[in-house]
Structure 1
Amino acid sequence: MNRWSTLLVDEARLGDLAALPSSDVLRHADLVAGRKPKPVELYQRWERQQWSAEDISLGMDHEMLADPRVPQGVRTMIENAIATFIIGEYTGLDMLGPILTGSPDEEYSLFLGTQIADETRHTRAVFRLGEEVMGMSENPRAMLTEAWNLSTPAHAELSMLESDIVRGLHERPMNYGQWLQAVTLFHLITEGVLALVGQRVLVHALRDIDLFNGIKTAFTAMCRDESRHVGFGLHALRTGVNEGYGDQINEVLEKAVPLALRLDNEFEGIAVDFREMSVNILRKHLSLIGTDPKFIDHLLREYSADAAPAR
């Protein structure tokens, strides 16, 4: 197995995910996306990578989170990440419904059906993390309210943008340009940047800590699933760009990219530059779908490490 293989992460069983090398987990989605898999290949990967949210053991994680020996920074990072994913996974179900309904291709629909199953499993997993690890309400509606109370203004603005996109897709379900805009926001920004970076934050921060194995297992399993979701989104958007819909895709990127990169502030204090990680992911993904390099530079100039200082 050469160093570019995804086999270690691809074939791991649920009980082995917490022990995977963090370096393999962190690069997995990039390697999968770089292969430009087609929807049917992503469906086949889904068949092989099933797991159960009910099989994750979380009892010890609750005790560890309450242990005063755990640094406050680690505790805060875990709590923020769980609250963020409670919101993100549940609201993802709202977006995927109209994306599936408006799907322009039969193979797309086949894959999107698997993604709805994934998002349902992820939602159940993070609801369990909220209730059993953080001690939040067992009522999902009350838990969502608690999670929103921990969120940032950028989350609220992104949610409003999602509502606008979903409403437009509901009104024009067979409008291909509108459908591509929804895929841009959900698969490229929400899944391809926010979810992927959030999962990597946790995996990286806990990599040398022989604790929180339930949390590690849940987030690593979701991270592996995300590689399929992102791979699909990049395929659909690459096809859309080739068919002349780049302007509609770029319109959403103009609004969503600044919001996505503002959310990195939640992870301050962790010894990784996650802003740089987000920018690098965006640059790779935008290049893979065929976005004009000048537009990519325009979007990311303010956030790039080599950008000229503002005058």
Structure 2
Amino acid sequence: MTERKSPTAVLREGPRTLTEDQVREIEETSLEGVLHVDIDDVIEYVHKDLKSLPDYTTLYRRYLKQRWDVYDLDFSQDVVDWTEKMTEAERESFIAIASGFHHGERQVEIELPVFMIGASEEEKLHIAAQIEDEARHTVFFDRFYREVVGLRGDDIMAVLDASFSWVSETFVGPFGLLAYQADEVRRNPYDERARVRYGTNYFLWIEGVLALSVMKVTLSYARWRGFLPAYYTGFTATCRDESRHVQGGMRYLQQAVRKDPTMINEIHNTLRTILASSGVVSRRIYYEPLGWTDEEVRLLFRQQLRRKLNDVGIDLAPDIEDMLSRAQPVLAGG
């Protein structure tokens, strides 16, 4: 177990400054070495290049260097930690928070390919790599739910069905909207306004806010308690993958706004739709077993969204700021 600062203290410290050695460790470490990387450093790494935003070819080259094999993970210690060391309240909170990510990875495999049609050739390389990443992440969660949590199923979809009861509106809402937006893009793949709406929901909110929040909550718990080493390793490697996804998505949104400043209206209206649906909550989850409060998770949501928009030069409308302050931090519920 490592010494733990409260989430509030960590969040209020502001941006971390990564050394060259820390950046090199995050970018170049093997899967085995990822276990020893601090998740807070990896989340900070997501933001490191947002102001400069590497091009899609650079992101593709990073993908080639950072690919990892989900079948190299050994979940045997995780089983011991899950069944013998974690409390029932910790297990229930953990699986609830993680379930939305489990389902999200699978849906992105379905919805992201349509975004490739209207993309540049360089961007297609990056998106193709991202789809392969999402498939790997889907298998990672399938293994965790089967081998550690003990959910049963003859195939991947059956395990997804078994974990769906934990997924709350905070995930169902944005992913339902994404399915609608993907149909828009599928019908007219060169409609830039439809693409910006899709990109705002997926790249900014789902990946940039929801996914990174799930990572920080569950992985900070695992690091603090010294539990679930294979989960920590695989999900931290997933976070490293997500850094490329978020950077590529924010590059797209930044370029779209610079090309046509009225696209900011599409971004703002999409965020309004998402935040309006976040007030609908039928399932409750308690963060305290993992060392977080509702207000700390709400602060995490706000911080993740504001940092990304600030770094790429996109402002939030005052009414969205107000909606964000009242957003329900229910990542998933049991």
TM above 0.5: yes
- The within-5 A match list for 1:7-86 is 7-67=24-84, 69-86=85-102
User: 8 Å contact 1:189–1:260 — kept in the other structure?
Assistant: no
Letter in 2 for 1:268: Y
Aligned counterparts, 1:1-311, within 5 A: 3-5=18-20, 6-67=23-84, 69-103=85-119, 105-138=120-153, 139-244=155-260, 245-259=263-277, 266=285, 268-269=287-288, 270-272=290-292, 273-293=296-316, 295=317, 297-304=318-325
Q: Which moved more, 1:144-153 or 1:234-243?
A: 144-153
Q: Which residue of 1 aligns with 2:12?
A: none
Is the 1:102–1:173 Cα contact (8 Å) retained in structure 2?
yes
Q: Are 1:192 and 1:230, in contact at CA under 8 Å, matched by a contact in 2?
A: yes
Root mean square deviation, CA, Å: 2.2
- Aligned-pair CA distance for 1:248: 2.0
Q: 1:25 to 1:292 in 2, by over 3 A?
A: closer
User: Please, what TM-score do these two structures have when normalized by structure 2?
Assistant: 0.83
State the alpha-carbon separation in 2 of the partners of residues 63 and 262 from structure 1: 36
The offset of 1:55, in angstroms, is: 0.7
Say if 1:158 and 1:256, in contact at 8 Å, map to a contact too: yes
Displacement of 1:226 after TM fit?
Answer: 0.4
Please list every run of 5 or more consecutive structure 2 residues that lacks an aligned counterpart in the other structure.
1-16, 327-334
- Percent of aligned pairs with the same amino acid: 23
SS in 2 for 1:211: coil
8 Å CA contact 1:4–1:31 kept in 2: the answer is no
CA deviation profile, 1:255-289 (whole Å, cap 9, x unmatched): 12454688897462143412111101101112233
Post-superposition offset of 1:167: 1.3
Letter in 1 for 2:194: Q
Q: 1:290 to 1:3 in 2, by over 3 A?
A: closer
TM-score (norm 1): 0.89
Q: Secondary structure at the match of 1:185?
A: helix
Secondary structure of 1:208's counterpart equals helix
**Cα distance change on mapping 1:259 and 1:13 into 2, 3 Å:** farther
Relative contact order (alpha carbons < 8 A, sep ≥ 6): 1 or 2 greater? 2
Q: 1 CA distance for matches of 2:68 and 2:127?
A: 18
| Between 84-93 and 72-81, the greater mean CA deviation after superposition | 72-81
Aligned residues: 300
Shift in alpha-carbon separation, 1:145–1:300, aligned structure 2, 3 A: same
Q: 1:180 to 1:302 in 2, by over 3 A?
A: closer
Paired residues of 1:58 and 1:129 also in contact (CA < 8 A):
yes
CA contact (8 A) 1:64 1:211 kept: yes
Q: Is the 8 A contact 1:189 1:257 kept in 2?
A: no
**C-alpha offsets along residues 81-106 of structure 1, whole Å, 9 cap, x if unaligned?**
33222211101112211111232x11
8 Å contact from structure 2 (residues 275, 323) kept in 1: no
How many Å separate the matches in 2 of 1:94 and 1:208? 35
Name segments (4+ residues, structure 1) moved above 3 Å: 2-5, 257-267, 302-305
- The code of the aligned residue for 2:141 comes to V
Cα shift at 1:33: 2.4
Tell me, in whole angstroms, the C-alpha distance in 2 between the residues paired with 1:262 and 1:49: 38
CA-CA distance at 1:15 after TM superposition = 0.7
Q: Which moved more, 1:257-266 or 1:114-123?
A: 257-266
Displacement after TM superposition at 1:108 (Å): 0.9
Looking at structure 2, the residues matched to 183 and 4 of structure 1 have their Cα atoms a distance apart, in angstroms, of 31
> Structure 1 residues 174 and 303, CA, compared in 2 at 3 Å: closer, same or farther?
closer
Structure 1, residues 98-118: CA drift from partner, whole Å, max 9, x if none?
A: 111232x11111111110111
